[in-house]
């Protein structure tokens, strides 16, 4: 069973933004060397149906599909993160690890989780999480997680719409980036911000 330091559950805008920041940290900071990350995505991001006209850094009218493809290529360029096209159906906490079970009957383990599954529902079995109604819509079927600074509990983080933020590209991307910075701090004890060279 493959073990990772972090499993990101959800490969939309927020999950990939987190993966991008973490990839840069692992590649460029000695204190991060050797950290392993997996992103699990089932291809259901709401962004795939969007067109972006006011997202910084994107050409007006860019489709969500192209935006996610661009982010994926950026993440892949670091050669650090493993990307899996697979739906997670169950996560079990066992001692200091999370056992992650996929729809394709594969199992992985991770020391930390970053939940970036969107706000439509929480249907992954196994974890007891502080679920609450999403506050930025009247649709009562939307959900979010209680958190403090994108940390739900020990070794569990959240970003994107599941963190109860507005549905806008730079906002959800920013939550992924901030969650990644917080994770790197918890791993290293230092605030790591990767800028251009």
Domain boundaries, the chain: 2-188
**pLDDT for 96 beyond 80:** yes
Give 46's pLDDT tier (boundaries 50, 70, 90): confident
Give 196's pLDDT tier (boundaries 50, 70, 90): low
Sorted by sequence, the CB contacts under 8 Å of residue 150 that are 6+ apart come out as: 157, 158, 159, 163, 175, 178, 179, 182
Sorted by sequence, the CB contacts under 8 Å of residue 59 that are 6+ apart come out as: none
34 closest CA partner among 83, 103, 80:
80
Name the pTM for this structure.
Answer: 0.95
**For 29, which DSSP code?**
-
For the residues 105-126, what does the mean pLDDT come to? 93
Handedness of CA 42, 44, 49, 55 (dihedral sign): negative
**Whole-number average pLDDT of the chain:** 93
For the residues 88-107, what does the mean pLDDT come to? 93
- Give tens-digit pLDDT for 178-192: 999 999 999 999 998
Element containing residue 93 per DSSP (H, E): strand 88-94
Tell me, rounded to whole angstroms, the distance of Cα 136 from its chain centroid.
Answer: 20
Question: Class for domain 2-188, per CATH?
Answer: alpha beta
């Amino acid at each position: 069973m493959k073990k990772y330091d972090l499993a990101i559950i959800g490969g939309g805008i927020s999950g990939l933004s987190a993966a991008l920041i973490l990839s840069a940290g692992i590649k460029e900071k000695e204190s991060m060397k050797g950290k392993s990350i997996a992103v699990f995505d089932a291809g259901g991001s709401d962004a795939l149906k969007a067109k972006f006209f006011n997202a910084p850094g994107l050409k007006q009218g860019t489709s969500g599909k192209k935006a996610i493809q661009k982010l994926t290529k950026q993440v892949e360029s670091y050669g650090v993160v493993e990307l899996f096209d697979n739906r997670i159906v169950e996560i079990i906490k066992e001692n200091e690890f999370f056992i992650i079970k996929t729809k394709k009957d594969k199992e992985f383990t991770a020391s930390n989780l970053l939940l970036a599954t969107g706000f439509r529902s929480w249907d992954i079995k196994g974890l007891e999480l502080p679920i609450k109604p999403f506050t930025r819509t009247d649709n009562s079927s939307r959900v979010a997680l209680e958190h403090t600074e994108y940390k739900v509990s020990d070794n569990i983080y959240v970003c994107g719409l599941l963190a109860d933020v507005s549905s806008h590209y730079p906002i959800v991307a920013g939550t992924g980036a901030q969650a990644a910075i917080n994770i790197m701090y918890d791993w290293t004890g230092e605030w790591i911000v990767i800028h251009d060279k």
